[in-house]
Amino acid sequence: MALDPSTLAVSLGRGDRGPGSPMDVPPVLSSTFVAGGQYVYGRDGNPTWEPFEEVVGALEGGAAVAFASGLAAISAVIESLPAGAVVVLPAGAYTGTRRLVADVATRGRVTGRLVDLTDTAATLAAVEGAALLWLESPSNPLLEIADVPALAEGAKERGALVAMDNTFSTPLLQRPLDLGVQVVVHSATKLLSGHSDVVMGVAVARDEALVQSLRSRRSLHGGIPGPVETFLALRGLRTLPIRLERAQATAADLARRLAGHAKVEKVRYPGFATVVSFDVEGGAASADAVCAAVRLIVPATSLGGVETMVERRGKVAGEEHLPPGLIRMSVGLEHADDLWADLEQALGR
């Protein structure tokens, strides 16, 4: 019987369920293990990782490898490429991904080609001769949508590996491996853990050689998650389906209300997920004033937590090309009416 994702999130990753066993696998705070068993040294394996990986893997439909951060997971994919490989990535990708590829390109490890992912034909033309196509849809923070199945198929025909950042959608809204993507990554810092108390990442793949390569990169480069972080991330993951449902409904409601506000020039919301970006009249100064005026909503740079957060993204290093008045809002679990009252008073100043 195929179980619903909400059931998988709760029931998997429990370890031994024998009488007297703990309900949750406790964080194993050990750097080294007595020789001769499954676990040897904490950089290569920790029993706390597997329950988290089991749940994420089941939700995404592959084998998951937990990392210290989203960027550690992204780095593991990039570092698995041969020297001189061409990486095609969206010009609108998360700034950290672009900066990482630019950094390794500066040292001659790879060559980056920036594309407009919403232009499928141009993206596939750029994939000729490339080793990797990097996808992010919806993108952060413009929330642009790419034709993922067409891009994945076209890239595969051209012999490129296809990886996708699924942080904004989570596997509950989009399962990239079912759409032809070979590696999925997440900043588990965001919706997967969901409480703004953990920095963590995860990569998921079906191909055994790819999974082994990701595990090797984790051990070799040392981008391992701590046991306490992994425990907390799994605890947050248990409630992802219900958090997502609530935050998504509120995000849609706020997007609709913002679209009718006189000071809002444009609302960017793809109709799903929990981030709404909107452009306010008056550019950077006006957007900064809104972010400074919120009382309930938190001015902060992350997303995917239980608390609603706003940030003017154009002020972030590397994001100066964005519309100056664009505010990215990550919608949390507060009541929609309370959030709207706060937005109205902040926009009204």
Ligand X SMILES: Cc1ncc(COP(=O)(O)O)c(C=O)c1O
Active site positions, annotated: 43, 94, 165, 190
Among 171, 201, 223, 332, binds ligand X (CB under 6 A): 201
Residues 33-52 interacting with ligand X (rule: CB under 6 A): none
Nearer residue to ligand X within complex by CB, 186 or 347: 186
Which CB atom, from 46 or from 97, has the smaller least distance to ligand X? 97
Contact region for ligand X (CB under 6 A) — 13-21, 52-60, 68-76, 228-236? 68-76
Tokens of 226: 């701590």
Alpha helices in the chain (DSSP H): 5-11, 49-60, 70-79, 95-106, 120-127, 148-157, 170-173, 208-221, 227-237, 240-259, 283-293, 336-348
DSSP 314: G
CA–centroid distance for 172 within its chain: 13
Residue count, binding to ligand X (CB under 6 A): 12
Taking the complex as a whole, the smallest distance from the CB of residue 184 to ligand X amounts, in Å, to 11
Distance between CA atoms of residues 83 and 104, nearest Å: 10
What is the token pair recorded at 113?
A: 């080609």
Q: Which of 51, 62, 70, 227 binds ligand X (CB under 6 A)?
A: 70
* Whole-number Å distance between alpha carbons of 140 and 209: 30
CA 207 to CA 293: how far, in whole Å?
A: 49
Q: What is d(CA 169, CA 165) in angstroms, rounded to the nearest whole number?
A: 9
Check if the beta carbon of residue 265 is closer than 8 Å to that of residue 279: yes
To the nearest whole angstrom, how small is the minimum distance from the Cβ of residue 190 to ligand X?
6
CB of 256 to ligand X, least distance (A): 24
Question: Does 167 contact ligand X by CB under 6 A?
Answer: yes
Which of these segments, 63-71, 169-177, 258-266, 333-341, binds ligand X (CB under 6 A)? 63-71
Q: Which of residues 92-121 bind ligand X (CB under 6 A)?
A: 94, 96
Asked if residue 134 binds ligand X (CB under 6 A), the reply is: no
Site string for ligand X, 140-159 (x = CB under 6 A): x-------------------
Short-list 64, 1, 17, 12, CA closest to 237: 12
CB of 12 to ligand X, least distance (A): 23
For residues 320 and 311, the answer to whether their CB atoms sit within 8 Å is no
- Cβ proximity to ligand X, 199 vs 214, nearer residue: 199
Say if strands 201-205 and 110-115 run parallel, antiparallel, or are unpaired.
unpaired
- 199 binds ligand X, rule: CB under 6 A: yes
Closest CB 289 distance from ligand X, rounded Å: 24
According to the binding rule CB under 6 A, does residue 189 interact with ligand X? yes
- Which residue number places its CB atom closest to ligand X? 70
In the complex, minimum distance from the CB of residue 187 to ligand X, in angstroms, rounded to a whole number: 3
Which residue from 222, 251, 188, 249 is spatially nearest to 55, judged by alpha carbons? 188
Angle at 321 between CA 349 and CA 256, to 5 degrees: 45
71, 100, 151, 287: residue in contact with ligand X (rule CB under 6 A): 71
Contacts to ligand X by CB under 6 A: 69-71, 94, 96, 140, 165, 167, 187, 189, 199, 201
